[in-house]
């Protein structure tokens, strides 16, 4: 652990988005506080303004890979609550209302309850972390997320010794999420992590990307990002956190257990039953590239799985 390095991204590899480039420049100068005024202040919602005033500091992670174009990050999505096509979420997610928003915490912890998201965010330092996201379907992106470690939030609820797993649940409201009127998945969307995965410093809750509050289609107002696992583990629009003793039944695992395991660690050596996981297409690239074990994060997470047969626990 603690082998993180500060982000140093060569300027020529930075996405052309001009505002963002300016922000990166400030970051390289080490004056992260200058980020704050660059966050969007246009939203009339007071809560969003509070969020905007928080500054994002560079998080403990570096990548020298170019970031995926912001347009692709926000217009090529998986969010079945708004349709199964990649362009559907950007088109349909305007019906989602990310404020007011509350998160219910239950199960094996000393501080269960229903919390206003803005109270949970108050005073929290937001970090920017440039993480790869690799979808099980074989495409990937590099995204500058803004968020904070999931562990920081979970500790606040004082999980007990019986908390072996964390289960996360997406909003269920077919009025806001019209895709839930179709039975393409069992709703609401549920995901889970083993406690040590949830507490791992690489695991974050994101509230923004590319210097902006999360667009609805990317999982506003709060979504998980677990960079060493396939994208489907990174559950969006979270309304509930349960500390549980048994491995939770997760949405994709329930709907197709042979295709989507609970662990879902990115692994080029374990094929999906219908396709190989050897390679991936980085959105924006012409050629496919080799997929890396644990999506390239093995240095930090391989230890978590030393006792696990990754072929059986895929
Ligand atoms: N609630 C919910 N979360 C979800 C999904 C979904 O359909 N519903 N899709 C998952 C999948 S398969 C992927 S690849 C990522 C995509 O995240 P992005 O659209 O921000 O790139 O979100 C994940 N989180
Ligand atoms: Mo995915």
**CATH number (domain holding residue 203):** 3.90.420.10
User: Which residue owns the Cα nearest ligand 1 atom 14?
Assistant: 231
**Secondary structure class of 279 (helix, strand, coil):** strand
The total of structural domains in the chain comes to 1
pLDDT of residue 61: 82
253 a known binding residue? no
Q: Is residue 181 part of a domain?
A: yes
Q: Which residues surround ligand 2, an ion (CB under 5 A)?
A: 78, 135-136, 231-232
- Beta-strand pair 204-209/223-225: antiparallel
Q: Is residue 4 part of a domain?
A: no
User: Which residue owns the Cα nearest ligand 1 atom 1?
Assistant: 236
Query: Nearest-CA neighbor of 146 among 46, 42, 239, 218?
Result: 218
- Full pLDDT tens readout for the chain, 314 residues: 333 333 333 333 334 344 454 444 333 333 333 333 333 333 334 344 433 434 689 998 878 899 999 999 999 999 999 999 999 999 999 999 999 999 999 999 999 999 999 999 999 999 999 999 999 999 999 999 999 999 999 999 999 999 999 999 999 999 999 999 999 999 999 999 999 999 999 999 999 999 889 999 999 999 999 999 999 999 999 999 999 999 999 999 999 999 999 999 999 999 999 999 999 999 999 999 999 999 999 999 999 999 999 999 99
Q: Is residue 195 part of a domain?
A: yes
Residue among 234, 240, 252, 253 to mutate when testing ligand 1 (max atoms within 8 A of CB): 234
Q: Is residue 36 part of a domain?
A: yes
Domain that holds residue 184: 11-303
170 a known binding residue? yes
Q: Is residue 167 part of a domain?
A: yes
The answer to whether the peptide bond before residue 273 is cis (omega within 30 degrees of 0) is no
pLDDT of residue 71: 96
d(CA 263, CA 194): 9
Q: Is residue 32 part of a domain?
A: yes
Q: How far is CA 116 from the centre of its chain?
A: 20
pLDDT of residue 77: 98
pLDDT of residue 64: 87
Q: How far is the CA of 236 from the centre of ligand 1 (A)?
A: 6
Whole-structure pTM over 0.75, yes or no? yes
- CB within 6 Å of ligand 1 — which residues? 77-81, 133, 135, 170, 189, 218-219, 231-232, 234-237
Q: Is residue 38 part of a domain?
A: yes
């Amino acid at each position: 652990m603690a082998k993180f390095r500060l982000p140093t991204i060569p300027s020529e590899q930075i996405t052309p988005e001009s505002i963002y480039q300016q922000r990166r420049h400030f970051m390289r100068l080490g004056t992260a506080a200058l980020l704050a005024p660059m966050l969007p202040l246009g939203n009339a919602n007071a809560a969003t303004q509070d969020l905007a005033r928080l500054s994002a500091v560079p998080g403990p992670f570096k990548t020298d890979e170019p970031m995926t174009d912001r347009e692709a990050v926000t217009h090529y999505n998986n969010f079945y609550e708004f349709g199964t096509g990649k362009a559907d979420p950007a088109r349909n997610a305007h019906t989602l209302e990310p404020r007011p928003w509350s998160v219910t915490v239950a199960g094996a912890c000393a501080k269960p309850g229903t919390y206003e998201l803005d109270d949970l965010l108050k005073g929290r330092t937001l970090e920017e972390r440039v993480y790869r996201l690799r979808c099980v379907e074989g495409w990937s992106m590099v995204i500058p997320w803004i968020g904070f470690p999931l562990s920081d939030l979970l500790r606040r609820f004082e999980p007990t010794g019986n908390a072996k797993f964390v289960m996360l649940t997406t909003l269920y409201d077919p009025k806001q999420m019209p895709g839930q009127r179709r039975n393409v998945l069992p709703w609401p969307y549920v995901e889970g992590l083993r406690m040590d995965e949830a507490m791992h410093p690489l695991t974050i809750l994101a509230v923004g990307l590319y210097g902006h509050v999360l667009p609805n289609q990317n999982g506003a107002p709060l979504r998980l990002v677990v960079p060493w696992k396939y994208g489907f583990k990174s559950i969006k629009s979270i309304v509930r956190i349960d500390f549980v003793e048994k491995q939770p039944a997760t949405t994709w695992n329930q709907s197709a257990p042979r295709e989507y395991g609970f662990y879902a660690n990115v692994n080029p050596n374990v094929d999906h039953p219908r396709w190989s996981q050897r390679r991936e297409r980085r959105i924006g690239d012409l050629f496919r590239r080799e997929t890396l074990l644990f999506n390239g994060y093995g240095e930090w997470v391989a230890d978590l799985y030393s006792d696990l047969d990754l072929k059986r626990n895929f």
